Amino acid sequence: MSNTKEPLFSAKNRKLLSIPMSKENPITIQVLGICSALAVTAKLEPAFVMALSVTAVMAVGNVIISLLRKTIAPRIRIIVQLVVIAALVILVDQVLKAFLYDVSKQLSVFVGLIITNCIIMGRFEAFAMSNKTWPSFLDGLGNAAGYGWILIVVAFFRELLGSGTVWGYQVIPEGFYNFGYKDNGLMILPPAALIVVGIIIWVLRNKDKELIEEN
């Protein structure tokens, strides 16, 4: 440990936040957490709540694991990580059921399935187990944000094209429908999320040639 105190938002720490948003994005680069990205992105509101829930679980979880990291015996570390995730997810689920009942019904099993979201476990194992609390917190936030913004972008397009609404409000004018415009039913189904995620990956790789692997 160095004696000079590192500033809270040093360049290194800022990177922890920014890199998972782009270069190491959990969904578009690491292709983790795809299952929930398909399932909850038909509408913007559940996608947003899902992103918030994952953020809460990931940031708090990373902090807890980082605090405990020296006490966790390597042999039971996966179990400890799972217990932490499961406990946090159950808390989130209970809070949603109490205060955001309709959204929690839409998210249904997918809140519970945050437990199996590989991004969270991955960050615990790869980062929080071997880093200090504050960087771990930032890493959790960064990865959750990287996951969240993809979710929200996908949900925006799926809701707009699939239902003609954004956050439940009609945005495509009635006149369009009179001229024969129709909502695209495919966009409501899970495969459409794959297509949208694919397009996002394509756009990202076009903007940043570094992401393209050599073959």
Partner 1 sequence: MFTNRYIFTYASIMVILVAAILSTASMVLKPFQEANVKAEKIQGILASANIETSREDAEVIFADHIIEELAVDTKGNVVMLTKDGKTEWFNDEIKAAVKYTRPFEIKLKEELRLKSYAEKGETVRPAIFPIFKLKKDGKEFFAVPVRGMGLWGPVWGNIAFESDFNTIAGAIFDHKGETPGLGAEINQGWFEGEFTGKTIFDEQHKFVSVAVVKGGVANSNISPSHGVDAISGGTITSNGVSDMLQDCLENYVPFIEKTLK
C-alpha span between 168 and 17 (Å, rounded): 31
Q: Pick the binder of partner 1 from 6, 10, 78, 97 (CB under 8 A).
A: 97
Applying CB under 8 A, among 3, 11, 99, 169 the residue interacting with partner 1 is 99
- Decide if residue 80 touches partner 1 (CB under 8 A): yes
Smallest gap, in angstroms, from Cβ of residue 87 to partner 1? 5
98 binds partner 1 (CB under 8 A): yes
Q: Nearest CA to 85 among 108, 118, 126?
A: 118
DSSP state at residue 210? G
Segment 101-120, which members bind partner 1 (CB under 8 A)? 101-102, 108-109
* Minimum gap (Å) between residue 98 Cβ and partner 1: 4
Distance of CA 118 to the CA centre of its chain: 11
Binding segment (CB under 8 A) for partner 1, from list 94-102, 129-137, 145-153, 167-175: 94-102
| Rounded distance between C-alpha atoms, residue 211 and residue 24, angstroms | 9
> Which residues is 165 bridged to in the sheet?
170
Dihedral sign for Cα atoms in the order 144, 37, 80, 76: negative
Q: Rule CB under 8 A: say whether 161 interacts with partner 1.
A: no
- Please tell me whether residue 8 binds partner 1 under the rule CB under 8 A: no
